[in-house]
Structure 1
Amino acid sequence: MALPQPLPRLLTTEEIVPTMEKIIEKYNVTRAQILQDVTPETATFDNVMLPLAQLENAVQGDSDLGMIFMLQYGAPSLSAQDAVDKARKLYVEASAGWTSDESFYELLQAAREKPDFQMLDLESQHLLDKEILEYKHKGCGILKESQSKKDAYFKTMMKIEGLKKEFQQNISRESGDVSFTLAELDGVPENELAKWKDEPEKEEISDENQEQCSEKKKIVPFANGGKLAILTYAHSPETRKTMFLADNQKLQQNKSLFQEIVKLRAEQARILKYDTHAEFRIEKRTAPSTDALKHFLDELQTSLHVLGQDEIAVMQSRRLKDLKERGKHSEGLLSKGFPPWDTQYYERLLQEEFEIDQLKISEFFPLENTAVKMLGIFASFLGLRFDSYKPSLFGLRVIRNSLVTYTSICYGEKTNIVATNVSTSNGHLRADGSRQYPSTILMCSFPTPTPTSCALLKHRQVVTLFHEMGHGIHDLLAQTKYVRFHGYRLPPDFGEMPSLMLENWCWIKDVLKDLSCSDTTIDENYLADWRLHHPTEPNPPKTIPDELVDNVIKHRNFNAGLYYLRQVSIATFDLQIHSLRTDEDIANLDVQKTWYDLRETIEGMDFSECRDGYNFGTFTHLTAGYDVCYYVYLYCTVMAQDLFASVFASDPFNKEMWRKYRHGVLEYGGSQKDLLGMLENFLGHPPNMRALVEELTAAKAGITPAVSEDVSVPV
């Protein structure tokens, strides 16, 4: 089948900035023409908003702009990253200038007030309303009487963008590490040790340090799984603590940057007549108000508190038993709470008692095999067909009836890359009635295969891949008129819901067995890798053993209370620091104290030795468009669990329900003004915002072992 449009093309470093300049010029020319030809008296949707929408469709339907924004997550070099940063700065500055134009705002408002507005389709009405809100958020209609105030507002907005860029660059370029002796790394698997470089030997060593320095050390980076490997596998509590506290100290420079960003955001919101930055941001979200959001988070914290405390008690019991066996137990430990650096280690030990071995599980999930089978599942559910066009790049084209779209999966070990899905070109309806097809890329920091081995996924990475692929499928299935609403381009407190709902399939036995490799799908690299680790077994089992799958599913909600309480603490921090109302509140803000106070109070662990750290400075969300937004994972998880329980739980493979879901939710993208109403129509009832707590409460029995009766466990 012939391809209806060219495949996406990766821009060279030299093309990035000139391409962005050409895009900006197109917008400038179109806007100037509209301002020249139209007055408030003659303004309509068709002569003001539609030309901009058609240009936006053309520009963002083309892959060049999408590729530039994709490269902010995966630029192949520092020079390319610098070019992307410059291009994005040009776009941000231009966009800010466009949406602060009072003359254009007056045309949009005039078009909104014309009688023919009510004759427009709902998506077009929604588009105009969204555009007007963008202008209001830049001060239009509020600061029009004072150009000096508007100029100051714009200048501060650009200052915030600069601070955010510096914050993000510090994160992406952070390269800290800690050196440990092999004795200190006891327990860490050989395949992890092999990733780390040896510390160079010192040329001059004093006699008194000769013996100490004679033992070789490994340099363990914070990034690329180094910290996680230490916290998960190192037997020495001192090693785990050292790594945790060292990592906790990184990015000190981001404290002052973030504190300044938060203060400037508060001041900017008040200039636009909002009481707080949170109220300014919530206006574009699905959640009805900041008060409703605070109530939602408080209710979750209260409901999950007992569950989290029970889970800490279990880990504390296991910890004290382990320390006693290692001769490191003392009476002083009984007066202390559970330290955060021991969470992953004792979660692993408890999982092993459940006979859940993540390394063993990963042997059945080689990346490419698993991804291909995932696509097969989506194809079956949603009536799709996936054809490979560049196997070496893991590229695919997706054929759905007469529609052809594209997706590809990129993986690698770029420092600090975050699993994400990026739309490189957005689908939309062209002016001639034909359709522009989308392209989408999954970018995940999965293990990189070598010439003699393949990348293996732990179960949590299988879930991550399914989640991000869910975003990609949403992107491919959307049928919107405008790129503004294509795919998952909708409020984030709804946009994460479809992918979070899909994670449920990663806990269904038939799905996991189908995703695992078999002797008919594995390649030679996988066989070689298997035989290296299992020299007495000639070939791997045909599929993952039932007992492994059963144990994973049985203990799905192990420590779920603590996991969600951590989400609550971060979301509460995000909301609280962005809810500053007075000059005194703004002046007295201490993000460091607030961060650790909330984590200790909500999560219930002992953060007393961590309070001089800067862990809050590592969260890209807080300065990358997710301010007053971290709650979305909880908000969407609740809706996702209600959707799964109400529609799919009784028959997860019901193709008729999947067909209705595709047409009733996914194809709309973000084109519906009332997303909660859309979901209510599909469900047949208002979303149940207690669905997550009800699920965890119902599943609590049998998920975690009882606390040992012979150990006193303070919490």
Structure 2
Amino acid sequence: MSVLTKKFTTKYDTAPFSQIKNDDFLPAFQEAIADAKKEIDEIVNNPEEPTFENTIEAMAFSGATLDRISNIFFNLHSAETNDELQKIAQEVSPLLSEFGNDIRLNADLFKKVKAVYDNKNNLSLTAEQATLLDKQYKSFSRNGANLSEDKKSKLREIDKELSRLSLEFGENVLSETHAFQLHITDEKDLSGLPEGTIEAARELAQNQEKEGWVFTLDYPSYVPFVTYAGNRELRKKMAVAFGSKGFQKNEYDNQEIVLQIAKLRYERAKLLGYASHAHFVLEERMAESPEKVTTFLNDLLAKARPAAEKEFKQLTNFAKELDGIEQLEKWDGAYYSEKLKQQLFNLDDEKLKPYFKLENVLEGAFTVAGRLYGLTFVEINDIEKYHADVRTYEVKDVAGNLVSIFYADFFPRKGKRNGAWMTSFKSQYVLGGINERPHVSIVCNFTKPTETKPSLLTFNEVTTLFHEFGHALHGMLADTVYPSLSGTSVYWDFVELPSQIFENWCYEPEALALFARHYQTGEVIPTEYIQKIKESASFQEGIATMRQLSFGLLDMGWHGQDPTFIKDVKEFENEQFASTKLYPDVKENAMSTAFSHIFQGGYSSGYYSYKWAEVLDADAFEYFKEQGIFSPEVATKFKENVLSKGGTEHPMILYKRFRGNEPKPDALLKRAGLL
């Protein structure tokens, strides 16, 4: 029996990372799948009449060990992977998708679920129970339970293949990210780069026993390079490398994989009776249909385009005046935007970073959460970590009860994918009268402290930390009965509301005064800087909006129609980007081949939800601003109707209960300066 399948004997039932070996995973998965199958068999073979309790509720609590192992494994696979784990993932993913299908295509189990579902009007269910029943029923009907046997086995093949392809896609992107390095030996090529970026690049070179400086495609290295490096050719080199991930006709090429994934998703949707993958996905979203999403994106596009074109013209003229640049290219965008922003607002990241020491910003997120929701965070060192960089905290409420365990993992390293995300090692649920508390984690890629400097964040990284922490609060404050409806288990176009609303506090003087202090002098960030942060918040918002909309439209292009006519990834992309294009195309680059959100993560047919949630978050924060940004009344309403409720009711019902009405886009357009 593996350590993974036994009950953990650790404090708070946390994952015993030091006792887990890579070799433990495959047998643990096999054992947990077998146990979960037994639990399902018991439900199926129960001779009593199917009831909510013996069927729906029994299913909701089955497979708990399997879920726990999956959480631990896939979190390590994202944050601390190696060749061995990647190999195991290739073996485990088909087993899991097969197991999922064994349940969803189990005719006898479906018969029992359907019997309860057909009788639902005679059961006095709570709102949460009614939602669970509806979701259980749909998890069958939307996944082939009503199909004939031959179509069911076709569906199984497709799912197995999709799970394999999306893993391969992600591993190719990771390999391409690591395959490229820019090695600089001439000091004049560092012109314009911030001191901290140069220092980090020198340390990286030293670690590799090289002279000079090494820059990589990891965000903390890549973003400052293309934003500040004065050498245009080197910016181009970095940007082209970044944009050609998975698009180089080598062993890591993702073009064929992208085409296959899109076609298989379409084939799957048709098999289930839907017009496209997007029709299938959006049936279970606030947005409901691809037509509604496309209208939503195009309406925003119509409002953003005039602003974007005006901003782009201003940027083009600025680059021409400053450096005689005739044609603004993609590798010029961040560089001249930053220069223009400095000229207009006299504010740059280097001025702000000393006020945003990582530890202080994290403490700031804790303080804001404390003021709003009565939480306290205490760092503890008596629970295990999967890497020395990870920090662990006890989260408690005003009465001193444990709310959650919180893991924070902030720095890039080999084996950790780019970007930032929130995840959990253990869900919240109530069983046998005990409210099991969640173990929540956020993972980011910020600049590591160096010998001379702590980790200082750009303002963009400050909002990233608050964003992921907003997701974490959604997980921590969960208070539902069933694990599958807990925390962030909500519609995808609702899941970004808690994360995006939390970013708003980063722009408020009252909140910034709590944590934005100079790391050397302790001086609070000057009021003029705060004013400039607020003023510059909508700087080039038109261009940024166009960019987000272009990703959403590309996603709908891949998934909202029959993709079998698409023969060439690049050509297809250019068609999709036509309405949002500002910069000239870069022939060596493609977006889709590294668009992990939609080809590896869960965002296929869902990328629009960032913008959708922005409408929600601007509208919701407007309410806080009307009553005071630390208003206990509004915070309580948000906690009780949104954060704690998870996916127990339809999001629009929860939102209206909090806000009193449906969200309107006006607050967003006003905030973005697009009105």
TM-score (norm 2): 0.89
More displaced, 246-255 or 478-487?
246-255
C-alpha contact (below 8 Å) 2:507/2:534 kept by paired residues: yes
Structure 1, residues 375-405: CA drift from partner, whole Å, max 9, x if none?
0221111112222222985311111135312
1:33 alignment counterpart: 42
C-alpha contact (below 8 Å) 1:639/1:691 kept by paired residues: no
1:192 aligns with 2:191: no
Distance (Å, rounded) in 2 between the aligned partners of 1:75 and 1:246: 24
2:438 alignment counterpart: 438
Distance (Å, rounded) in 2 between the aligned partners of 1:543 and 1:265: 52
**Aligned residue type for 1:443:** V
- CA separation of 1:177 and 1:5: change in aligned 2, threshold 3 A: closer
Distance (Å, rounded) in 1 between the aligned partners of 2:516 and 2:202: 32
Structure 1, residues 178-226: CA drift from partner, whole Å, max 9, x if none?
44544444222343233336999xxxxxxxxxxxxxxx87543222433
Deviation at 1:578, TM superposition (A): 0.9
Structure 1, residues 210-253: CA drift from partner, whole Å, max 9, x if none?
xxxxxx87543222433323311121322222322233223121
1:121 aligns with 2:142: no
Q: 1:648 aligned to 625, 641, 651, which one?
A: 625
Question: How many residue pairs get matched?
Answer: 640
1:5 alignment counterpart: 12
1:73 aligns with 2:72: no
Distance (Å, rounded) in 2 between the aligned partners of 1:59 and 1:79: 20
C-alpha contact (below 8 Å) 1:126/1:671 kept by paired residues: yes
2:610 alignment counterpart: 633
2:671 alignment counterpart: 695
Return structure 1 stretches of 4+ with deviation > 6 angstroms. Answer: 197-200
- CA separation of 1:514 and 1:75: change in aligned 2, threshold 3 A: same
The unaligned stretches of length 5 or more in structure 2 are: 1-9, 206-210, 248-252, 383-387
Please show how residues 331-350 of structure 1 align to structure 2 within 5 Å.
333=326, 336=327, 338-350=328-340
C-alpha contact (below 8 Å) 2:315/2:336 kept by paired residues: yes
1:394 aligns with 2:395: no
C-alpha contact (below 8 Å) 2:466/2:502 kept by paired residues: yes
C-alpha contact (below 8 Å) 1:73/1:417 kept by paired residues: no
2:590 alignment counterpart: 614
Structure 1, residues 49-71: CA drift from partner, whole Å, max 9, x if none?
221212255764xx544222311
**Aligned residue type for 1:426:** S
C-alpha contact (below 8 Å) 1:57/1:428 kept by paired residues: no
Q: 1:164 aligned to 139, 157, 166, which one?
A: 166
Distance (Å, rounded) in 2 between the aligned partners of 1:452 and 1:510: 31
Structure (1 or 2) with the larger CA radius of gyration = 1
The unaligned stretches of length 5 or more in structure 1 are: 201-215, 519-525, 527-538, 701-715
**Aligned residue type for 1:593:** E
**Aligned residue type for 2:614:** T
TM-score (norm 1): 0.85
Structure 1, residues 582-607: CA drift from partner, whole Å, max 9, x if none?
xxx51335332232343353142222
Deviation at 1:93, TM superposition (A): 2.3
C-alpha contact (below 8 Å) 1:638/1:688 kept by paired residues: yes
C-alpha contact (below 8 Å) 2:500/2:614 kept by paired residues: yes
2:422 alignment counterpart: 421
Please show how residues 34-433 of structure 1 align to structure 2 within 5 Å.
34-38=43-47, 42-56=49-63, 60=67, 63-114=68-119, 118-141=123-146, 143-144=147-148, 147-174=149-176, 175=178, 176-180=180-184, 181-196=186-201, 218-252=213-247, 253-324=253-324, 333=326, 336=327, 338-353=328-343, 354-390=345-381, 393-400=390-397, 401=399, 403-404=401-402, 405-414=404-413, 415-430=416-431, 432-433=432-433
Q: 1:552 aligned to 519, 533, 549, which one?
A: 533
Structure 1, residues 393-420: CA drift from partner, whole Å, max 9, x if none?
5311111135312112112213533211
C-alpha contact (below 8 Å) 1:426/1:437 kept by paired residues: yes
Please show how residues 453-532 of structure 1 align to structure 2 within 5 Å.
453-517=453-517
Distance (Å, rounded) in 2 between the aligned partners of 1:113 and 1:4: 44
Distance (Å, rounded) in 2 between the aligned partners of 1:162 and 1:487: 28
More displaced, 677-686 or 635-644?
677-686
**Aligned residue type for 1:664:** N
1:677 aligns with 2:653: yes
Distance (Å, rounded) in 1 between the aligned partners of 2:34 and 2:500: 39
Distance (Å, rounded) in 1 between the aligned partners of 2:121 and 2:560: 39
Distance (Å, rounded) in 1 between the aligned partners of 2:627 and 2:340: 31
2:3 alignment counterpart: none
- CA separation of 1:454 and 1:250: change in aligned 2, threshold 3 A: same
**Aligned residue type for 2:480:** T
Distance (Å, rounded) in 1 between the aligned partners of 2:195 and 2:663: 48
Q: 2:568 aligned to 587, 590, 595, which one?
A: 590
More displaced, 569-578 or 175-184?
175-184
RMSD of the alignment, in Å?
2.5
Distance (Å, rounded) in 2 between the aligned partners of 1:309 and 1:166: 38
- CA separation of 1:117 and 1:445: change in aligned 2, threshold 3 A: farther
C-alpha contact (below 8 Å) 1:111/1:117 kept by paired residues: no
Distance (Å, rounded) in 2 between the aligned partners of 1:92 and 1:157: 6
C-alpha contact (below 8 Å) 1:395/1:408 kept by paired residues: yes
**Aligned residue type for 1:410:** D
2:7 alignment counterpart: none
Distance (Å, rounded) in 1 between the aligned partners of 2:643 and 2:561: 37
